[in-house]
Amino acid sequence: MSLFRRIWLAVIGLTVAAFAASLLVNTFTARSYLEKQLYLKNVDNATALALSMSQIREKDPVTIELLLSAQFDTGHYQEIRLTDPTGKVVAERKQEAAAAAGAPAWFVKLFPISARPGIAHVQDGWKQFGTITLASQSKFAYQDLWKGTLELSIWFLAGGLVAGLIGTLMLRLITRPLDHVVEQAHAITRRQFISVELPKVPELRSVVQAMNDMVARVKQMFADEAARLESLRRQVNHDSVTGLPNREFFIGYLREALSGEEGSAVGLLAIIRLADLNNVNARLGHARADGLLQLVAKLLNEACAVQNNWLAARVRGSDFALLAPGADDPPTLADKLAQAMRHVAAAYPELEDLFHLAVVGYQRGEPMETLLANADSALAIAEGKGPNEVFASKHGDGSPLATSGEGWRKLLSNALSEHRLKLAAFPVISANGVAIHQESVIRLQAQTDGPWLPAGDFMPMAERLKLTADLDMQVMHLALSGLRTGRGDIAVNLSADTIADWGFHNKLVGLLEGQPALCKRLWIEVAEQGVFRQLEAFRDLCRTLKKLGCQVGIEHFGHRFGEIAKLSDLGLDYLKVDGSFIHDIHLNAGNQEFLRGVCKMAHSIGVSVIAEGVRSSEELAVLPGLGFDGVTGPAVS
């Protein structure tokens, strides 16, 4: 039983007890008063009758009988009796007690009225003629007593209702802080860590303060552990001098870009090589040489800043790389980077031969070894052209589906209107091989009878043309249809632009409401970059989907791990760690330690962790030992 109900029942009990006690006291007091009034009436009437008889000179029996009968016949008396001094009855009129007028029998039985009869002496000159004993009827007294009790009950009931309403309002005001604490506790069970306002009631204030302190400590522990793991991640995956990702991390990211389902269909790889780094160190000294490396890293980061999925890295001591998924114009990127590098070279006039730059194009599905070999060949051509030279080579791919934005808009709009979309399912399994859900990714047929394109081929243009909400709504319809006709759970991805669209948000709520059984089997995830780009919108989406019963998670997780504290109040159900961290995990002790910490921290707040992009049995074998709850990727069947 809730505390509110207990308090309310206690208040009701006390009120009823007070009412009952007051009613009883009042009823008994009223009865006592009526009994006294009846006795006084009996005495007065007996005295008046005795006086009337005393004034009769000739007290013959007939006259006495007539006078007594005349008094009795008024109907107000239960008994009138005249006895002589010896106790012999001279005249008597008596009737049974009349039924109480308007008072129920149980009330008469519960509160009997017993008034003493009135007694007066009849004189005959100086001698006592007899004694009058008179008892009035009590039915009218019962009527007054019942009426007074009933009116008092009605007033008490009305007062009790008013007091109950006021008490309810007061209790709600008093217990509202407790409701906040209860909600705070429920939020913790939902993996949301929130603080509530301190109440003014001192007793409750201490409870709320303790809960807030506990939440603050949990958040701080979460933040401290996140900071430690972020530091470890940077040590393992980043170059200590420039702060850029190192070769191992870059290779994993490149592999995902070339083979990942959501990777862009085309892209560019740029390689910048500093000429003779040992000579640079000798001529500039280590401090200035490190400054040069950091300056190159800065210009590469600036080039990546305008794109969410571009990545710069230091792949060797003198080699820097820039991966630009979605870009398809090698000369333009090469000119931009070369111009920036020539500004750097101007700051170091003592270095005549500072760099060589190569930019090559690639297609999704191209072997990584082939792309790296093409990049090396292009860099060799740039080196052969002389100091600070550039070479750009575009991949020899086929013609694109459309060359303009309007062309793509027409293709995508036609595909949407004709429902040429489907979901391709990939299994996500637990460590012991049990299916967790099917990860469903979108396929689109841009042209009738044409090939089914993966998301990377059309989603960049859909985002640019603001068509992601329409695409994602059709994805939701397909997912729900799959849940109705199939078994197991389904996971779908929403884009960042979609979750920030309130129109889509309202449509999604309307679509999912009233389908709790399907919502429990529906997993909805957003890529990490999109989450942090639209954090407030994602927070609102989480609240909505959690109320509907859906599972909510983040995919491609790990690149912005340092900001994980911002996610502490979202109530996430799962995280999917990006495949670039999983690449050759069995050979990377540093990443193993980092991922073990991620799993431990996530499990401490009830969040499951799934590994993406598992490609080999060696990777698959080591992941359960790190704490992963599930895996997906080419190695998973």
Condensed to tens digits (0 to 9), the pLDDT of residues 272-304 reads: 998 877 777 777 888 888 888 899 999 999 998
* HSE-CB for 399 with a 13 A CA cutoff: 4
**Three-state SS sequence of 547-587:** HHCCEEEEEEECCCHHHHHHHCCCCCCEEEECHHHHCCHHH
Give yes or no: residues 415 and 360 share one domain.
no
Q: Please state the domain count of the chain.
A: 3
Tokens at 449, concatenated: 């009878």
Give yes or no: residues 411 and 552 share one domain.
yes
Q: Helices in 73-201 by DSSP H: which ranges?
A: 105-110, 139-189
Last residue of a domain, one of 393, 418, 449: 393
CA distances from 147 to 38, 136, 144, 152 (A): 17, 20, 5, 9
How many other C-beta atoms can be found within 10 angstroms of the C-beta atom of residue 80?
Answer: 23
- Residue 203 CB burial class (10 angstroms; 0-12, 13-18, ≥19): exposed
Give yes or no: residues 135 and 269 share one domain.
no
CATH of the domain at 477: 3.20.20.450
Which candidate, 182, 177, 187, places its Cα nearest to that of 568?
Answer: 187
Q: What is the DSSP letter of 104?
A: -
Q: 554-601, pLDDT tens digit by residue?
A: 999 988 887 887 787 788 999 999 988 998 899 989 899 999 999 998
Q: What is the pLDDT of residue 625?
A: 94
Spatial distance between the Cα atoms of 63 and 364, rounded to a whole number of angstroms: 135
Which candidate, 565, 590, 559, places its Cα nearest to that of 224?
Answer: 565
Helix axes 3-54, 61-72, angle to 10 degrees: 150
* Sign of the CA dihedral running 462, 467, 469, 474: negative
CB 401 within 8 A of CB 437: no
CB 584 within 8 A of CB 248: yes
Residue 140 pLDDT exceeds 80: no
Cβ contacts of 189-196, under 8 Å, gap ≥ 24: 189/606, 190/546, 190/571, 191/570, 191/571, 191/572, 191/573, 191/605, 191/606, 191/607, 192/568, 192/569, 192/570, 192/571, 193/218, 193/219, 193/222, 193/568, 193/569, 194/569
Q: 413-436, pLDDT tens digit by residue?
A: 999 999 999 999 999 999 888 999
Q: What is the pLDDT of residue 218?
A: 77
Residues 261-274, mean pLDDT to the nearest whole number: 86
Q: 385-410, pLDDT tens digit by residue?
A: 888 889 998 765 545 555 567 888 88
CATH of the domain at 33: 3.30.450
Give yes or no: residues 477 and 573 share one domain.
yes
What string of DSSP letters covers 383-413?
HHH-TT-EEEE-------S-SSHHHHHHHHH
* HSE-CB for 299 with a 13 A CA cutoff: 19
At residue 210 the predicted structure's pLDDT band, cuts being 50, 70 and 90, is confident
Q: What angle do CA 475, 256, 372 make, to 5 degrees?
A: 145
| Position 128 in a domain | yes
> Which stretches of 418-468 are assigned E, i.e. beta strand?
421-430, 435-445, 452-454
At residue 34 the predicted structure's pLDDT band, cuts being 50, 70 and 90, is confident
Q: What is the pLDDT of residue 480?
A: 95
CB 596 within 8 A of CB 229: no
At residue 610 the predicted structure's pLDDT band, cuts being 50, 70 and 90, is very high
Chain mean pLDDT for the chain: 85
**What distance, in Å, lies between the first and last C-alpha atoms of the chain?**
50
Last residue of a domain, one of 351, 372, 393: 393
Q: 149-170, pLDDT tens digit by residue?
A: 888 888 888 887 887 788 778 7
Residues 324-346, mean pLDDT to the nearest whole number: 89
| Position 425 in a domain | yes
Q: What is the pLDDT of residue 323?
A: 94
At residue 308 the predicted structure's pLDDT band, cuts being 50, 70 and 90, is confident
Q: 417-448: string of b/e by CB count within 10 Å (b at 16+)?
A: eeebbebeebbbbeeeeeebbbbbbbbbbbee
Q: Alpha-carbon dihedral of residues 630, 186, 523, 485, nearest 10 degrees?
A: 110
| Position 209 in a domain | no
Give yes or no: residues 368 and 253 share one domain.
yes
Which amino acid belongs to residue 504?
F
At residue 2 the predicted structure's pLDDT band, cuts being 50, 70 and 90, is low
Give yes or no: residues 427 and 308 share one domain.
no
| Position 295 in a domain | yes
Q: What is the pLDDT of residue 306?
A: 79
Residue 12 pLDDT exceeds 70: yes
Q: What is the pLDDT of residue 548?
A: 92
| Position 570 in a domain | yes
CB 230 within 8 A of CB 610: no
Spatial distance between the Cα atoms of 196 and 215, rounded to a whole number of angstroms: 10
CA distances from 160 to 170, 314, 612 (A): 15, 79, 65
Q: What is the pLDDT of residue 131?
A: 92
Residue 337: give the domain boundaries.
241-393
Give yes or no: residues 381 and 422 share one domain.
no
CATH of the domain at 339: 3.30.70.270
CB 453 within 8 A of CB 400: no
| Position 201 in a domain | no
Give yes or no: residues 351 and 465 share one domain.
no
Q: What is the pLDDT of residue 190?
A: 62
DSSP, collapsed to helix, strand or coil, labels residue 60 as coil
Poorest-confidence range of 103-117, 181-195, 561-575?
181-195
Give yes or no: residues 382 and 415 share one domain.
no
Tokens at 248, concatenated: 């191992």
Give yes or no: residues 450 and 310 share one domain.
no
Residues 596-619, mean pLDDT to the nearest whole number: 90
Residues 302-322, mean pLDDT to the nearest whole number: 89
Residues 616-626, mean pLDDT to the nearest whole number: 93
Give yes or no: residues 606 and 516 share one domain.
yes
| Position 280 in a domain | yes
Spatial distance between the Cα atoms of 466 and 286, rounded to a whole number of angstroms: 49
Cβ contacts of 237-242, under 8 Å, gap ≥ 24: 237/581, 237/590, 237/591, 237/594, 239/313, 239/314, 241/290, 241/293, 241/294, 241/314, 242/293, 242/294, 242/296, 242/297, 242/314
What string of DSSP letters covers 39-53?
HHHHHHHHHHHHHHH
Spatial distance between the Cα atoms of 504 and 507, rounded to a whole number of angstroms: 5
Give yes or no: residues 299 and 416 share one domain.
no
Poorest-confidence range of 124-138, 174-188, 339-353?
174-188
CA distances from 498 to 469, 493, 525, 531, 533 (A): 5, 10, 12, 11, 12
CB 443 within 8 A of CB 453: yes
Q: 152-181: string of b/e by CB count within 10 Å (b at 16+)?
A: beeebeeebeeeeeebeeeeeeebebbebb
The residues that bridge with 574 in the sheet, in sequence order, are: 553, 608
Residues 454-481, mean pLDDT to the nearest whole number: 90
Name the helix (H) or strand (E) containing 344.
helix 330-346
Residues 319-331, mean pLDDT to the nearest whole number: 91
Residues 28-44, mean pLDDT to the nearest whole number: 88
**Three-state SS sequence of 605-633:** CCCEEEECCCCCHHHHHHHHHHCCCEECC
| Position 228 in a domain | no
Last residue of a domain, one of 120, 145, 161: 161
CB 269 within 8 A of CB 358: no
Spatial distance between the Cα atoms of 400 and 450, rounded to a whole number of angstroms: 13
At residue 474 the predicted structure's pLDDT band, cuts being 50, 70 and 90, is very high
Spatial distance between the Cα atoms of 196 and 199, rounded to a whole number of angstroms: 9
